[in-house]
């Protein structure tokens, strides 16, 4: 470990190793891009995973009412226990409990967003020098937090040709004696994919064989398209201890509220002696999430009607279908059909775009020429793909698809130079 | 570093070293105490540093209104930048800027409570193996966070006979090449003390001589009694780089909101290259505090009238005076007059309480016999004192003092056995 020495001459205060090792790769990549939109076309940002930015998905009135009531009530201004109010933890437990994966208030820890939940889960399970298995492509925060804590990341591959299921053999080959946890994310950011029951069981089997606990990031739980069914990891195993993370951010379209949770699915006491008390200890570092949101939580979880969620999912699904239909007809692009969350990944046949070296250049040029910004796959450790956010208003989705099509038409060169109308 | 090995037989998941090293000493001490109140007397808890618990200090109506407006406005549900909205940071900057310590929005980082602010400050300045200087008696979170991060704590003494000023010589003697920062807390929890301008300058001189930056925990800023003037650390030095921490918790009586901040007082660029970017990086781990409170922050900071704070301080001061007057007349007790915050420390002449071994036993017995609970000094690394919280309703303060007096009368044995009315 590098030890900082006070420099006695000019006074430059050095930052800690932890600070230096904490990076937001998306920020870094995006800040390094030349993003100058075409002045003749209004910018469409399909890049931001914040469902509130387009103002087309307002929060439920019941949620607003619950918050206002809590503010007016005046009973939720003081410190809550660092793991959350008992009643708020109970509300999460009863919203998520299942006969096959029962939850009580004591199994819930409220956190500062799902990010805070993931931070606690990684912090409690892994020591510096140990490793985590994380998905590729995957949400960048896992790596950010692990790097920050000096924990190594090993990647397991998600397979686009199998609806982004994990490559189980390759996953298993990554596990070693220092593997502290397998992180799964279902439904997935950036893939919009959803694991089947069977695939979840298969992953749990891998974890079981190696006695590695699972951190299941289920922030998009229940956000699936019509015809698909969401299964939690905890519902598919009676053997593997699981820390599941979730929160209000995406389903209730209020990411700014910073209300997340961990649900502890212990199995045969594997988490009882150390992990459960460890999570409680770690929660005391910053004392839990905002108490107004905590006070409103039971109402938020019980009073927002199903129709609110159905409408949002119908909107996301409609956009997914529009986007998939348009882009799968575009030579050089290979969209992978999503089943949930709010994203879609689109493969680029980069060798057929001469002069465009990679997904970064592709995304940059699409901004320059068409004023459409999508995150390059590199942001998710997955080159030559780009991610589209599906929460935009439908008109913008259509326009964006048209522009992406035009962009590809302008740059695509088919396998044979003579082939003027290339067929995929 | 101890590396956790997966145990292959029974599946017991071990917690990380960090989790095991994260302790809340107050919780631990209090949980270990036998706290059975006298059934004939209603319990009075002078132990909890949460000004909302007695319901006698409701939040300002302007604060409530600002929150409700923000909820209704619907513009603060999305992600804010991880350091906070620019406008909210600007609001903190303009509330705290001084000609001699100017602040702009860029110098403010919004955090999940003042606890979150302290966490970031310690995390950015110190590496595992380095040390922090922290006050004794002092707020236990500094040690909790340092232990959690593998950072050593060295104590500097506050002197009760000098209004809890720091023992400068002893402080200086604690500094070595691995000292990453001096943590100061002014006004102080648990002392209720306030440093003079001159004393602040003296501490800054120590920091300057050794080129050690200061973390100034100023969560009780401006909360001082009539006749006293609060000076921030940053206002008293042009040389020492300072990270100051604060928040809404105490002054606005809303600790549950978890809205804190860091103000960066750079000097000659000492923080520019590494510490400022380091703080921004670290803020990205959990993405900042609740956006509703952030959205209401400017109104909260500008619209709550001075009279609101004056009334609270008058109440705290009245209780301080009652408590000091009563207890300074009690043989065996030595209250130290506070000047701010919401606490007072009271020394115990423990050798004159035969059968009572220490402050822990003293506090326990006072619960058993008088149903008055004060935190023993041990919670603040300062034995044979106890801390009284001054935010209770005045009637309870008076009753509590009477009971403490009775308790001492029952157990005090003066220097001479014959001296039936012992004189202090
Ligand atoms: C997979 C995944 N997990 C966690 C988060 C973070 O959620 P929160 O905003 O509640 O911290 C996100 C946000 O985009 C996400 O996509
Ligand atoms: C000295 C001191 N600093 C920081 C804090 C924590 O403040 P917050 O509740 O904003 O995290 C407290 C709370 O009691 C305190 O007394």
Query: If 0-12 CB within 10 Å is exposed, 13-18 middle and 19+ buried, where does residue B354 land?
Result: exposed
Give the best residue of A8, A9, A12, A15 to mutate against chain B (max B CB count within 10 A).
A15
The length of chain A is 424
- CB-based contacts of A345, cutoff 8 Å, min separation 6: A137, A160, A164, A190, A191, A192, A335, A336, A338, A377, A382, A385, A386, A387, A388
pLDDT tens for each residue of B201-214: 999 999 999 999 99
Q: Are strands A131-136 and A179-185 parallel, antiparallel or unpaired?
A: parallel
- CB-based contacts of A202, cutoff 8 Å, min separation 6: A168
Which ligand has the shortest distance to the CA of B141? 2
Rounded CA-CA distance B87/B361 in Å is 51
CB atoms A281 and B119 under 8 Å: no
pLDDT for position B3 = 39
What the block records as the tokens of B186 is 């002014």
Rounded CA-CA distance A156/A136 in Å is 6
pLDDT for position A297 = 98
For residue A417, the tally of other CB atoms under 10 A from its CB is: 7
What the block records as the tokens of A217 is 């990031």
Contact B220/B190 with Cβ under 8 angstroms? no
A118 CA: nearest ligand 1 atom: 4
Q: In sequence order, what are the beta bridge partners of B410?
A: none
What the block records as the tokens of B289 is 């505090």
pLDDT for position A9 = 59
pLDDT for position A1 = 33
pLDDT for position A2 = 38
Find the helix or strand (DSSP H, E) in which B362 lies.
helix B359-370
pLDDT tens for each residue of B29-38: 999 999 999 9
SS (H, E, C) chain A: CCCCCCCCCCCCCCCCHHHHCCCCHHHHHHHCCCCCCCCCCCCEECCCCCCCCCCCCCCCHHHHHHHHHHHHHCCCCCCCCCCCCHHHHHHHHHHHCECCECCCHHHEEEEEHHHHHHHHHHHHHCCCCCEEEEEECCCCHHHHHHHHHCCEEEEEEEEHHHCCEECHHHHHHHCCCCEEEEEEECCCCCCCCCCCHHHHHHHHHHHHHHCCCEEEECCCCCCECCCCCCCCCHHHCCCCCEEEEEECCCCCCCHHHCEEEEEEECCCCCCCCCHHHHHHHHHCCCCCCCHHHHHHHHHHHHHCCHHHHHHHHHHHHHHHHHHHHHHHCCCCEEEECCCECCEEEEEECHHHCCCCCCHHHHHHHHHHHHCEECEEHHHHCCCCEEEEECCCCHHHHHHHHHHHHHHHHHHCCCCCCCCCCCCC
For residue A12, the tally of other CB atoms under 10 A from its CB is: 16
Rounded CA-CA distance B146/B156 in Å is 16
Rounded CA-CA distance A118/A182 in Å is 12
The length of chain B is 424
Contact B50/A307 with Cβ under 8 angstroms? no
Q: Are strands A242-247 and A214-217 parallel, antiparallel or unpaired?
A: parallel
Cα–Cα distance list, B24 to A117, A312, B20, B115, B278 (Å): 19, 42, 11, 13, 26
Q: Which residue in the set B59, B76, B129 is minimally distant from A256, CB to CB? A: B76
pLDDT for position B416 = 62
- CB-based contacts of A253, cutoff 8 Å, min separation 6: A51, A52, A57, A58, A59, A312, B77
Q: Is A22 on the interface with B (CB under 8 A)?
A: yes
Contact A296/A63 with Cβ under 8 angstroms? yes
Q: Which residue in the set A76, A130, A286 is minimally distant from B115, CB to CB? A: A286
What the block records as the tokens of B140 is 């236990």
For residue B74, the tally of other CB atoms under 10 A from its CB is: 13
Rounded CA-CA distance B284/A18 in Å is 13
Name which residue sits closest to atom 7 of ligand 2, judged by CA.
B114
Is B408 near ligand 2, meaning CB less than 6 Å away?
no
Rounded CA-CA distance B262/B246 in Å is 7
Considering only the C-alpha atoms of chain A, give the largest distance between any 2 of them, rounded to a whole number of Å.
74
Is a pLDDT exceeding 80 seen at residue B276?
A: yes
CB atoms B127 and A4 under 8 Å: yes
pLDDT tens for each residue of B146-188: 999 999 999 999 999 999 999 999 999 999 999 999 999 999 9
For ligand 1, which residues put their CB under 6 angstroms from it? A 49, 113-115, 139, 185, 189, 217, 219, 247, 249, 255, 260; B 287
pLDDT for position B10 = 81
Q: What is the DSSP code string of B285-323?
A: TTT-S-HHHHHHHHHHHHHS-HHHHHHHHHHHHHHHHHH
Q: Is A313 on the interface with B (CB under 8 A)?
A: no
Q: Ligand 1 centroid vs A114 CA: distance in angstroms?
A: 6
Average pLDDT of adjacent 10-residue blocks, chain A of 424 residues: 49 97 93 96 96 96 98 97 98 98 98 98 98 98 98 98 98 98 98 98 98 98 97 98 98 98 97 98 96 98 98 98 98 98 98 97 98 98 98 97 98 72 48
A185 CA: nearest ligand 1 atom: 1
Is the ipTM beyond the 0.90 threshold?
yes
Is B261 near ligand 2, meaning CB less than 6 Å away?
no
Calculate the average pLDDT of chain B: 95
* Residue B415 confidence class, pLDDT cut points 50, 70, 90: confident
Contact A209/A171 with Cβ under 8 angstroms? no
């Amino acid at each position: 470990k590098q030890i900082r020495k006070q420099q006695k001459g000019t006074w430059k205060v050095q930052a800690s190793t932890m600070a230096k090792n904490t990076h937001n790769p998306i920020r870094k990549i995006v800040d390094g891009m030349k993003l100058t939109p075409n002045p003749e076309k209004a910018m469409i940002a399909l890049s931001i995973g914040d469902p509130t930015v387009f103002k087309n998905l307002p929060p439920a009135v019941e949620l607003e009412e619950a918050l206002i009531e809590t503010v007016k009530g005046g009973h939720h201004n003081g410190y809550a226990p660092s793991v959350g109010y008992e009643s708020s933890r109970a509300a999460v437990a009863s919203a998520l409990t299942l006969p096959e994966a029962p939850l009580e208030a004591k199994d819930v820890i409220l956190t500062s967003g799902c990010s805070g939940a993931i931070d606690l889960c990684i912090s409690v399970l892994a020591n510096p020098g140990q490793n985590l298995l994380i998905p590729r492509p995957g949400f960048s925060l896992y790596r950010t937090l692990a790097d920050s804590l000096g924990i190594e990341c090993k990647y397991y591959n998600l397979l686009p040709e199998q609806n982004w299921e994990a490559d189980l053999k390759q996953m298993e080959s990554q596990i070693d004696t220092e593997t502290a946890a397998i992180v799964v994310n279902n439904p997935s950011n950036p893939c919009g994919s959803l694991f089947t029951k069977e695939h979840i069981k298969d992953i749990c089997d891998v974890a079981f064989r190696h006695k590695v606990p699972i951190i299941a990031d289920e922030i998009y739980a229940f956000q699936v398209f019509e015809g698909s069914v969401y299964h939690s990891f905890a519902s598919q195993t009676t053997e593997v201890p699981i820390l599941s993370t979730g929160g209000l951010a995406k389903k209730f379209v209020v990411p700014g509220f910073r209300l997340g949770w961990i649900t502890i699915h212990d199995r045969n006491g594997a988490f009882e002696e150390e992990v459960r008390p460890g999570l409680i200890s770690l929660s005391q570092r910053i004392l839990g999430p905002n108490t107004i949101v905590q006070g409103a939580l039971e109402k938020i979880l019980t009073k927002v009607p199903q129709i609110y969620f159905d409408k949002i999912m119908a909107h996301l699904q409609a956009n997914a279908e529009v986007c998939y239909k348009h882009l799968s007809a575009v030579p050089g692009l290979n969209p992978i059909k999503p089943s949930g969350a709010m994203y879609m990944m689109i493969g680029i046949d980069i060798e057929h775009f001469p002069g465009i070296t990679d997904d970064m250049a592709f995304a940059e040029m699409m901004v320059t020429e068409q004023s459409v910004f999508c995150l390059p796959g590199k942001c998710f450790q997955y080159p030559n793909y780009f991610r589209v956010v599906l929460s935009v208003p439908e008109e913008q989705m259509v326009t964006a698809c048209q522009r992406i099509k035009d962009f590809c038409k302008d740059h695509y060169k088919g396998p044979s130079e003579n082939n003027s109308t290339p067929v995929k």
